[in-house]
Amino acid sequence: MFISYFFENGSPCNWDYSDGELAVDLLYDHEAGATNKAAGHFHFSVDNPERQPVRIRIKLATNIWNGQLGSPFEADLPSYYSEDGKTWQVFVWQQETNGDLVAEFGKLPFFYLARLEPYTEANLKQLCGDIKDHPLVTMSNIGTTLEDRSLEMIHVGTGEQRVLLRARAHPWEPGGNWVIDGLIREFIAQYETNPEKVKNIGFDIMPIANKDGVARGMTRFNLKGADLNRGFSRPRAELAAVAPENIALLEWLDQQQTAGTLPVLALDFHNDCNGGLLIPADDEARMEILADSLRRHTFSPETVISSPNKDGFAAGVHAQYGIAAATLEFNAKYINNIKQLPSATHWQQFGRDFLEVALEFISENS
């Protein structure tokens, strides 16, 4: 019996095997200069050549956020397994009284296990390969990560009313990537059948903000211990030393401001176990318009919250550029509005439906 995490997005962990049980200890990301730490992402393979009955235990992780203890685990938490790394099946963990997660996997000879259906740079390359030759699509490199990975911006559509989307500031949260995949493919399909419908809108998309963290199987922070959904109020020189990923985005926005082509809406896509739209406290009127449209056309948000985060993407983009901005969390436990466990398929459908939301928003705010 052997666990491997030596592949893209594989999550380093400690593990032991005894009496038919694989016990896994997740490793923590740590925030620089703070006590905050996070675990919760897992993605590894299990090699079982003797086809022994496999029981997996994920030991309780205790995160710290703003001095508060918490766990990424809770009762009825879904996760995903795959025998080929391509087709994923959902299952639900049992949580024991000590907080550990346990599940039985029969006698599978080999399988992958992941907290959510993985979306990696390989998936992004496939998407870019599929769309790169379309006349509506251009791509630019707006910067590099700490490990010198390129940071793409995908531009879809030629309309003057632009929508900025960012995903994967936190590596464990792939939902936004699947949303973007569905949105781009729907936009192109709509253009082919009804170009008039999408002539006034375009999307500028930063698909994987924390590329290093995604590649290395991390949970929340980047390789310098920076949270990429924080720091937007910090001095640029200070931010550049720890979060070049955020600097790349801000400098791109500076260029759009100079050119008079700032987006009218900016959304940061995340996952949590609540499914909320988090809005800046001083922009509630515009955001209620967005929330209403989301409710009518999609299965999210489940809640709308005035966010206390003054240092994150939404507050920073709104304060510095006047753009209507929000954080949209996709529920990684259970999508209450459709009573389904979440999957890549659901999030791709959200992306297809989101096109109508964006069209309504620019129509009412142009």
pLDDT (average), residues 261-282: 96
pLDDT (average), residues 170-174: 98
Mean pLDDT of the chain: 97
pLDDT (average), residues 290-308: 94
Residue 366: pLDDT over 80: no
> Is the overall model pTM greater than 0.95, yes or no?
yes
pLDDT of residue 365: 83
pLDDT (average), residues 208-235: 97
pLDDT of residue 309: 86
Class of domain 121-365: alpha beta
pLDDT of residue 308: 85
Note the CATH number of domain 2-114. 2.60.40.3120
Percent above pLDDT 90 for the chain: 96
Domain ranges of the chain: 2-114, 121-365
CB 20 within 8 A of CB 52: yes
pLDDT (average), residues 91-102: 98
Residue 85 has which token pair?
């790394």
Residue 297: pLDDT over 90: yes
pLDDT of residue 285: 87
* Paired strand residues for 56: 22, 103
When pLDDT is cut at 50, 70 and 90, the band that residue 263 belongs to is very high
In tens, the pLDDT along 48-96 reads: 999 999 999 999 999 999 889 999 999 999 999 999 999 999 999 999 9
